[in-house]
Amino acid sequence: MARRKLEEINAGSMADIAFLLLIFFLVTTTMESNYGIRRKLPPITPPDNTDQPVIKKRNVLEININGRDQMLIEGNLAKDSEVKDITEKFITNNGKDPKSSDNPQKAVIQIKHTRETTYKKYISVYNELLAAYNELRDKYAKKKFGKAFDDLNEKQQKEVKDYYPQKIAESVPK
Amino acid sequence: MGKFSKKKDGGTPAISTASLPDIVFMLLFFFMVATVMRDNSMKVGIKLPSADQIKKIEKKGLVSFVYVGKPIPQYQAKFGKEPRIQINDAFADAKDVGPAFLAFKATKRQEEKPLLITSIKADKDVGMGIITDIKEELRKVNALKVNYSTNKGGVEKNQ
């Protein structure tokens, strides 16, 4: 008895099926970027809490942004690209300049903006501030532990963070 | 002439499409791995600002999103062109941000509750007023971990 030779299954429509699936995934999914600047908001202080810490004026770097995205740092007009250098200089002053900070632990940065200031300006300035802090922390970590900040263990990171605490204050615009 | 006509008679063999499914499957798998399911239909248009001092959100399940931007054209007749807040699938006001966060928190397990992050996805041209309102509402419900969603890139792209 001669066995009938098996015929090959036609796979020509396989491509169509795969295309269909592909298009389904193209339509229903997104390439989402899940990156962002992580911040912790300050907790609400009870209204009866009046004993606010006194901060000397020299330890505050005042950044003012108006409704037209123009920025004053300590009263001087500044561009986005200058924020990082100014901040680093301010934090690492260590009492040299009588108008600048006493030491990195006391340095506070205050951002004031209006309701009309654009989000992108705020993010830009914030990003530059974080860049300044990250660079300083990295430098300190390299000097002290010989490693980048991200490679340190938790205890070492805390030590670096205590040396360069991120004190960024934001005021609520009226 | 003889040679020429002979070639014409033979005809070119058809290109084999047997590997086409493989190629398409490869593409398919790439998209399945590289993308995530769209969970909200966007009612506001958002162009994120750029920043480079950024962190990646690891656990997407612990993140609630607040979108801010101009309503897309089909909603502009009803909601105007001013930037609005979108939570989940609907337009909302700043005062809805707090309750929405609490509702999200209620669905999570006890040990996950301190880890929740609120991600603000705002268009780069919205005013800080609306962002400040959201931040104040979040502070009121003790949702202090926020993430300003941005694209990867230098801030000079924000101009």
Q: Which residue has the higher pLDDT, A109 or A173?
A: A109
pLDDT in tens for each of the 159 residues of chain B? Answer: 555 555 555 678 888 777 888 888 898 888 888 877 776 778 888 888 888 888 888 777 888 889 999 998 888 888 888 899 999 888 988 889 999 999 999 998 898 888 899 999 999 889 999 999 999 999 989 889 999 988 888 878 777
Cβ-based contacts of A169 with chain B (< 8 Å): none
The number of CA neighbours under 13 Å toward the Cβ of A8 is: 4
- Based on the number of CB atoms within 10 Å of its own CB, is A27 exposed (0-12), middle (13-18) or buried (19 or more)? exposed
At B14, which amino acid appears? A
The average pLDDT across A20-29 equals 86
Of A4-8, A100-104, A141-145, the range with the highest mean pLDDT is A141-145
Q: Cβ of A42: how many Cβ atoms within 10 Å?
A: 12
Which domains are present in chain B? 2-34 (no CATH), 44-158 (3.30.420.270)
Closest Cα in chain B, distance from residue A126 (Å): 9
Whether A94 and chain B come into contact, CB under 8 Å, resolves to: no
Q: How far is CA B97 from CA B39, B68, B101, B132, B149, in A?
A: 18, 12, 6, 12, 17
pLDDT at position B8 is: 52
Contact B85, B67 (CB under 8 A): yes
pLDDT at position B54 is: 87
Whether A166 and chain B come into contact, CB under 8 Å, resolves to: no
Task: Flag if B156 and A81 touch (Cβ within 8 Å).
Answer: yes
Whether B52 and chain A come into contact, CB under 8 Å, resolves to: yes
pLDDT at position A2 is: 60
Q: Is the ipTM of this complex over 0.85?
A: no
Give dist(CA B17, CA A10) in Å, integer: 12
pLDDT one-digit tens code per residue, A75-133: 888 888 888 898 888 888 888 888 888 888 888 898 999 988 999 999 999 999 999 99
Give dist(CA A172, CA B20) in Å, integer: 59
Interface of A with B in 28-47 (CB under 8 A): 28-44
Cβ-based contacts of B139 with chain A (< 8 Å): 41-44
pLDDT one-digit tens code per residue, A25-76: 888 887 766 788 888 888 887 766 666 677 888 888 889 998 888 899 888 8
Whether B32 and chain A come into contact, CB under 8 Å, resolves to: yes
Locate the chain A residue with the closest alpha carbon to B21: A15
pLDDT at position B102 is: 92
pLDDT at position B6 is: 52
Give dist(CA A118, CA B123) in Å, integer: 9
Q: How far is CA B53 from CA A78, A170, B86, B95, B144, in A?
A: 20, 19, 26, 30, 19
Give dist(CA B63, CA B56) in Å, integer: 12
Which domains are present in chain A? 57-132 (3.30.420)
